[in-house]
Structure 1
Amino acid sequence: MPLIQLIIVLVVFGVVLWAINNYIPMDATIKKILNVVVIIVVILFVLSAFGVLGSFSGMHVGR
């Protein structure tokens, strides 16, 4: 993945998370959980993009 595409994806994730935190009214606990989940997904995405984790295509959830 080209570096510019990775930066664009990170900016989009950041803007979406910022918009959710500022404009969608919800309990603070739910916002914290949502923030943690999004940050974990972004970290896994970046590690996968750099080849540290490999591809997620082989991962299966459930059966």
Structure 2
Amino acid sequence: MLAKRLIHDQSQSMDAEEMMINKLKQACGYEFTNKLHRMFTDISVSSDLNQKFNHFLKQQNKEI
């Protein structure tokens, strides 16, 4: 369900999602939560890159 919320941008709070992943890491260990943490990080990086790219396009007066 976390994957669906992240991919479809339906998470109510990214901070809450990250806190839950950290709690799971403490309870279940690094190996159990490694993929969840990577997925969360990838979504965050992707969102940041997308914003920067859109800003660049606006500066260049171009649209996709």
Give the TM-score of the pair, scaled to structure 2. 0.46
Give the TM-score of the pair, scaled to structure 1. 0.46
Q: Which has the higher contact order (CA 8 A, sep 6+)?
A: 1
